[in-house]
Structure 1
Amino acid sequence: MALPRWALPEYFEDVLPHEAQRIERLRRVLLDEFRLHGYQYVIPPMAEFVDSLVSGTGQKMADAMFKFVDQLTGRSMALRADTTPQVTRIDAHLLNRSGVTRLCYCGPVVHVLPRTMTASREPLQIGAELYGHAGIEADVEVLRLLSRTLTLSGADAVRIDVGHIGLFRALSRLAELTPESEETLFNILQGKDVPALRDFVANIAEPARSGLLALPGLYGDANVLVRARDVLPDLPGVHSALDELLHLARHFGERSLSFDLADLRGYHYHTGLMFAAYCGASPTAIALGGRYNEVGRAFGRPRPATGFSLDLRELAALGPDAAIPGAILSPLEASADLETLVTQLRAAGEVVMPELPGHAGDWREAGCDRRIVLKDGAWRVVALED
């Protein structure tokens, strides 16, 4: 049976007035907060040439995109599936600053398939990126801004898990893995499949074998990092990664971090610290981020970079459902006093809508809970009668 004309594709949905207002209010709060921290707002285009959108992100990102042929150039274009490569391009070529650059953004991205069974194929992605500083101070700043973002959203029971791709890469080099074997190992560790991991490392020499076997058990609070120094091989890459993780642990006393040294999401993309935020009401990560110094290489400027992004629609749904004041119904009368009152109400943030003639429905359906009436010779706001 044919679908009705009003039906949407699976995992796409309309956002109705109440939810849309809730999302928009949070968007304004977060972008204003980013601005107060020095992050400048940019609006990249929804579509670009494919080779630009996938720069530095790997085949997985390319597979997530809706692609089409540009009728003007004949080149392959795509709808963006992630905004970070676009912001990196802006930093590299349009702004071309030599020092630190802080940028933020908010806009829809489109995925060929949903990332989870409950996710939308059109997330409203909001994020912040910091370019031009390779030190741990930039990672601390970005994590603090993510923490502030989650606090402002009102999401409860938030946990931020932190890992470091440097540990995995150091152990992979020590084990002398091929790119194909490294990919297999990544999938095993992501699935926390310990029996498969034992089989995989059976023919790998020590100490790489013991180090890889230890990774799935290294998760928890900052004490995990102390234990990791004892059980992981004595390698420069291991030491530097653990030093950065310990630095973070010391700087986040007000919101404790948890550490998962086998969480390798986006390992093709990240070059250092990685983090994911979880909320008690959500089964999957609500925010992802980390360091990605190599993404700009395709644009000729491999600048140090770190940042985070999340789905604003998902985040808004996890926060409290704050009451939104209703609108005020105003009569259609040519009165200077009435126009003055309406102007004052709107200046104070009230929604005032004219009472158009011939309205057949209930004004409450339009969002009104009050109206303006002429009482004792003056215009006054009163409750909307049933």
Structure 2
Amino acid sequence: MNEIMRNWILPEYISDVLPCEARLLEGLRRRMLDLFSCYGYEQVIPPLVEYVESLFTQEDKALDLKTFKLVDELTGRQMGLRADITPQVARIDAHILNRKGVARLCYAGSVVNTRPDGTLSSREPRQIGAEIYGCAGLAADVEIIELMRESLSLAGMNNLRLEIGHMGLFLAMAEASGLDGSAREEIFVALQQKDLPSLKASTTGLSAELRQGFLALPNCYGGAEVLKSAREALPALPGVTEALDALDALRAALQVRGIEPCFDLAELRSSYYHTGLVFAAYTPGYANAVARGGRYDSVGEKFGRPRPATGFSLDLRELSHLPFPARRSGILAPAGDEPALVCCIRKLREQGEIVVVDLGVVGDESGCNRRLVKTDGDWKVVAQA
């Protein structure tokens, strides 16, 4: 590879965002933030880099592995490039805003990952999301799911499949089993991957009731009937009953809003800050979920103020293979210093028109379908010949 090629080749899973895609992503970002605002969400813009301790809400190996780390030349402390914005928003809610009641916060920005989430994923996702702090009730979860659906609708995604799970099922059985460390991790990963042989091997030493419960989770997938069968297959622990009751109540509330969810009770998130409800949205043509979310109560505990929280996020880059919008019609204007021409161009731009000044360069493709011409002493917009 010669020196010139080295200068322009980007790292693996890192790419430029070119004009057509940038126009799509920026348009979606603006419309989604406007939608969030209509629901009462306030935007925050956390920094791209922080001291590494504040980028994790607790011991989170998955997020730690995804975080690029560097040394701060001013203090000598270790810093990290954020791999997820939620811990930063939790810090803002807990330590800076410090509100007594509900806080609705939203964000949009790049995150950087040491490794991609999938073969087609970017290591620099454009993450956008919304979160509710200070409400442990069902109404907050319903609002977040409804907002996620409306956000995806802005991207033309109306044929969605909503899959819902609950971390409380795994956490309750893991606690009852006395699982910790590598044993807990093995079962967690096996459930995530729905790897039944590994799950059978890693649950061998458990009681018959708890082993049966773990082995039943991957098969608890489908419609509302799943919740009924789960009550029969899973151990009657208080945490299990509470989680299933919450899922039943959520199903009823979503049906009122025209949302018919599916259930996947082995759906587990790799970030350990999730503590309860988890959900993901899928649509035809996409191998991965187009949006994910869930509940992460006590997320601010590390920052000195535990607060119930629920939210969702999505990667705008994942939506980039949507059909690019047609270029907005523009007006080609001649170059010149005539005051009337300068004034006319300024007024057209104030009205929201795209006005491109013709610089006289051969091969300049403006894409304009109209032209600004002088007729009878006045500057007028006419159709492009």
- Tell me the TM-score range normalised by the shorter chain: over 0.9
Matches of 1:175 and 1:42 in 2, distance apart? Answer: 41
> Paired residue for 1:381?
381
1:295 to 1:276, Cα distance in 2 relative to 1, 3 A:
same
The letter for the 1-side match of 2:105 is L
- Map 1:131-210 to 2 at 5 A: 131-210=133-212
Matches of 1:43 and 1:296 in 2, distance apart? Answer: 18
Task: Report SS of the residue matched to 2:300.
Answer: helix
For residues 17-46 of structure 1, the C-alpha deviation after alignment (integer angstroms, 9 at most, x for no partner) is: 111111111111000110111110111111
Match of 2:350 among 340, 347, 359: 347
- Over the matched positions of the two proteins, sequence identity in percent amounts to 50
- Map 1:1-386 to 2 at 5 A: 1-2=1-2, 3-56=5-58, 58-253=60-255, 254-266=258-270, 268-315=272-319, 317-335=320-338, 337-356=340-359, 358-362=360-364, 365-385=365-385
Gaps of 5+ in 1: none
TM (norm. structure 2) is 0.94
Whether the 8 Å contact between 2:187 and 2:203 is mirrored in structure 1 is no
Task: Report SS of the residue matched to 2:335.
Answer: coil
Matches of 1:367 and 1:318 in 2, distance apart? Answer: 22
Whether the 8 Å contact between 1:161 and 1:277 is mirrored in structure 2 is yes
The letter for the 1-side match of 2:334 is P
1:70 to 1:235, Cα distance in 2 relative to 1, 3 A:
same
Matches of 1:121 and 1:63 in 2, distance apart? Answer: 13
The letter for the 2-side match of 1:272 is G
The letter for the 2-side match of 1:12 is I
1:318, CA displacement in angstroms? 4.9
1:137, CA displacement in angstroms? 1.4
Task: Report SS of the residue matched to 2:74.
Answer: coil
For residues 278-322 of structure 1, the C-alpha deviation after alignment (integer angstroms, 9 at most, x for no partner) is: 12111011212111123211100111111111111222x254433
Matches of 2:324 and 2:21 in 1, distance apart? Answer: 9
1:267, CA displacement in angstroms? 5.6
Whether the 8 Å contact between 1:156 and 1:319 is mirrored in structure 2 is no
CA-atom RMSD, angstroms?
1.8
Task: Report SS of the residue matched to 1:4.
Answer: helix
Gaps of 5+ in 2: none
For residues 313-332 of structure 1, the C-alpha deviation after alignment (integer angstroms, 9 at most, x for no partner) is: 222x2544332313211123
Matches of 1:57 and 1:380 in 2, distance apart? Answer: 65
1:15, CA displacement in angstroms? 0.9
Whether the 8 Å contact between 2:183 and 2:202 is mirrored in structure 1 is no
Matches of 2:74 and 2:275 in 1, distance apart? Answer: 37
The letter for the 1-side match of 2:348 is L
1:236, CA displacement in angstroms? 1.1
Q: How many residues align?
A: 381
Matches of 1:310 and 1:153 in 2, distance apart? Answer: 12
Whether the 8 Å contact between 1:290 and 1:307 is mirrored in structure 2 is yes
The letter for the 2-side match of 1:285 is A
Matches of 1:115 and 1:236 in 2, distance apart? Answer: 34
Matches of 1:178 and 1:105 in 2, distance apart? Answer: 34
For residues 81-140 of structure 1, the C-alpha deviation after alignment (integer angstroms, 9 at most, x for no partner) is: 111111111111111111111111101111111111111111111111111111121111
Task: Report SS of the residue matched to 2:132.
Answer: strand
Matches of 1:324 and 1:361 in 2, distance apart? Answer: 18
The letter for the 1-side match of 2:375 is K
Matches of 1:69 and 1:274 in 2, distance apart? Answer: 35
Segments of 4+ in structure 1 off by > 3 A? 318-321, 333-341, 375-378
TM (norm. structure 1) is 0.93
Whether the 8 Å contact between 1:154 and 1:320 is mirrored in structure 2 is no
Task: Report SS of the residue matched to 1:252.
Answer: helix
Matches of 1:199 and 1:112 in 2, distance apart? Answer: 31
1:176 to 1:4, Cα distance in 2 relative to 1, 3 A:
closer
1:47, CA displacement in angstroms? 0.3
The letter for the 2-side match of 1:230 is E
Task: Report SS of the residue matched to 2:281.
Answer: strand
